Amino acid sequence: MKIFYILLYFVAALLSFSIYGMLAMWVDRKVTARIHFRVGPPWYQNFVDFIKLTGKEVLIPEKANVLMFVSAPVLGVIAAAVAGTTILLVLQNNISFAADAILVIYLLTIPSLAVILGGSASGNVLASVGISREMKLLLGYELPFVCALIIAAVKSGSTTSLGEIIQFQQQNGKLIGSLSGVIGFGIGVLALQGKIGFVPFDLAEAEGELAGGSFIEYSGILLGLYKLTKAILLVVGPLFLISLYMGGINFSSVAGVIAGLLKYFVILVIFILIKNTNPRLRIDQALKLFWGWLTLFGIIGILLALAGW
């Protein structure tokens, strides 16, 4: 019976993440359009895109490994939603266990792995270039992302349990109020930008040169699932950062939910601004940024956190 409830909770979380994610994607497209002095698409555009993709033919290339080609996008959606559900359980029902922040980091890696699996299963040359970039990018942004987690963990008294980190922030003020918190938050935002694949780091699916990159052979509902994964990550990633640095979201009162939405929109706007003011980086530049400057700042942040700043 308990398993049944957990499954039901998961499905509800998956649905709500999909809806919020697609609305967030619309905000991104609309704001981008306004920056270009355009009108932009209507609010239901991403839902329409998804429904259209479900009605399209699914083409599977001759050279593809069919099982992997079909299962990779499903894997991505499920992993992203499970990561989100883990965070939501902590925020909503206060169900937390030791080191669940590390679990979330692992789960957030799987959508990128799904892109790599699907791209390599399709047997396309351009897809293989795309996945090689995605792999390097994955190795790149994980390091600063882990640094961001370590800073939060050290600041809140050496714990990697999301529940305890949030509890610490409720008692001692939000971590973003301190110097090391600001550094950790900034690193986290940039690493998430790479994880979601927004513009300065969209080199894995570069439309101009790789014709869609890792997704080049995908069509129909499978492509729709990849778009859905991206939408879910756009909700789950900021939710993770909010839990680590901005004190989480209080679901018990209306004011708490509104404050949570405001926190989410602040992060979303930062994403969109970075996206619209930066050209795409080359893979070597992206790696230099992640392993060089961001990791350096991450180590400085950890030292500051250890010193109590």
Locus of tokens 């996008």: 73
Does 295 help bind another protein (rule: CB under 8 A)?
no
* Beta carbon nearer to another protein, 87 or 210: 210
* Beta carbon nearer to another protein, 17 or 50: 50
Residue 76 and residue 73: Cα distance in Å, rounded?
Answer: 5
Does 66 help bind another protein (rule: CB under 8 A)?
no
At its nearest, how many Å lie between another protein and the CB of residue 236? Answer: 25
Residue 79 and residue 86: Cα distance in Å, rounded?
Answer: 11
Does 125 help bind another protein (rule: CB under 8 A)?
no
Tell me, by CB under 8 A, how many residues bind another protein.
32
Candidate residues 11, 12, 52, 139; the one interacting with another protein per rule CB under 8 A: 52
Residue 227 and residue 297: Cα distance in Å, rounded?
Answer: 32
Q: Which segment (31-39, 91-99, 104-112, 187-195) binds another protein by CB under 8 A?
A: 31-39
Closest CA to 111 of 57, 73, 164, 149: 73
Candidate residues 23, 40, 132, 295; the one interacting with another protein per rule CB under 8 A: 40
Candidate residues 208, 253, 254, 255; the one interacting with another protein per rule CB under 8 A: 208
Locus of tokens 């995605």: 134
* Beta carbon nearer to another protein, 127 or 154: 127
Q: Which segment (42-50, 66-74, 141-149, 174-182) binds another protein by CB under 8 A?
A: 42-50
User: Phi, psi at residue 190, to the nearest 5°?
Assistant: -65, -40
At its nearest, how many Å lie between another protein and the CB of residue 57? Answer: 4
Does 36 help bind another protein (rule: CB under 8 A)?
yes
Q: Do 130 and 141 meet the contact criterion of CB atoms below 8 Å apart? A: no
**End-to-end C-alpha distance for the chain, whole angstroms:** 47
C-alpha distances in angstroms, 152 versus 97, 161, 245? 17, 11, 7
At its nearest, how many Å lie between another protein and the CB of residue 33? Answer: 6
Residue 151 and residue 213: Cα distance in Å, rounded?
Answer: 34
C-alpha distances in angstroms, 264 versus 11, 37, 240, 258? 22, 25, 10, 10
* Beta carbon nearer to another protein, 68 or 306: 68
Residues recorded for the chain: 309
Residue 61 and residue 261: Cα distance in Å, rounded?
Answer: 42
Site for another protein in 1-30 (CB under 8 A): 29
Residue 231 and residue 247: Cα distance in Å, rounded?
Answer: 23
Binding mask 217-246 for another protein (x = CB under 8 A): xxxx--x-----------------------
* Beta carbon nearer to another protein, 32 or 250: 32
* Beta carbon nearer to another protein, 114 or 183: 114
**Number of other CB atoms surrounding residue 209 within 10 Å:** 11
**Number of other CB atoms surrounding residue 29 within 10 Å:** 17
For 128-249, list the strands marked E by DSSP: none
Does 282 help bind another protein (rule: CB under 8 A)?
no
Q: Which segment (37-45, 72-80, 100-108, 183-191) binds another protein by CB under 8 A?
A: 37-45
At its nearest, how many Å lie between another protein and the CB of residue 21? Answer: 17
Does 62 help bind another protein (rule: CB under 8 A)?
no
Question: Which parts of this chain interact with another protein (CB under 8 A)?
Answer: 29, 33, 36-42, 45, 48-49, 51-52, 54-59, 207-208, 210-212, 215-220, 223
